[in-house]
Amino acid sequence: MKKIMGILLLLVSTAVAADLSGKWSGTFRATGADHDIPQLFILKQDGSKLSGSGGPNEGEQYPIESPRIDDDKVAFEITTGEWKFSYHLKVSGPHLTGDLELTSADTRRTAKVALNKVN
């Protein structure tokens, strides 16, 4: 019985920890760059559906596109003018970390992303 309760507790805590709803703040750094770029995401998760927006701050937000959640992996895109940002992140408690691909008509760059849940 203790073993079953322990497993149930682990499953419940994992499900609660995986909720992405809220604000996520952090940075990305493009490969070869010498500074971090601020990021702020405002996300809403409803089961396996994800919606929201992201950008450098609350005043400049763009809707997320093509969101996908698969266990502890999250992927989505943001389009800002001529740039497309493709995020491939991993959830670890109140942290989202991973890779970003930035593409424009004639440029492709990669970056590392680190975000923390702020509420």
Percent of the chain with pLDDT strictly greater than 90? 82
pLDDT, tens digit (0-9, with 9 covering 90-100), for 21-37: 999 999 999 999 999 99
The pLDDT assigned to 119 comes to 81
- Model confidence at 7: pLDDT above 80: no
- Model confidence at 88: pLDDT above 60: yes
pLDDT, tens digit (0-9, with 9 covering 90-100), for 50-74: 999 999 999 999 999 999 999 999 9
d(CA 30, CA 28): 7
Of residues 13 and 60, which shows the higher confidence score? 60
Arch. (CATH architecture) of 20-117: Beta Barrel (2.40)
The pLDDT assigned to 18 comes to 64
**Can you list the pairs that 28-31 forms with residues at least 24 positions away whose Cβ atoms lie under 8 Å?**
28/100, 28/111, 28/112, 28/113, 28/114, 29/111, 29/112, 30/102, 30/109, 30/110, 30/111, 31/109, 31/110, 31/111, 31/112
